[in-house]
Amino acid sequence: MDESASGDGTDGDTNPSIDAVRRATTAGVLDAVGTVWLLVLSLVFLAAGSRGLLVASTAPGYALSIGIVAGSVALALYAFDVVP
């Protein structure tokens, strides 16, 4: 039996298409994880800004809360590649 045909990965897979698939898969997974992370962060900021709007009693409090909500929306748009 030929050792290079064993398929156990120890023969130094030098096939460029396999390397390209591995790089593409890694990039895709990392991109998906990054998108989910940005959306979770956006939801946290949206919750904080919304709570601030509900409990704020002064104009600067409202302005800060609106800024946080706007930042949250911008972060979500960035996560979906709507804005560069």
What pLDDT tens digit does each residue of the chain (84 aa) get?
A: 444 555 555 555 578 888 899 999 999 999 999 999 999 999 999 999 999 999 989 999 999 999 999 999 999 999 998 988
Distance CA 56, CA 73 (A): 20
The length of the chain is: 84
Structure tokens at 45: 């900021």
Structure tokens at 63: 């302005």
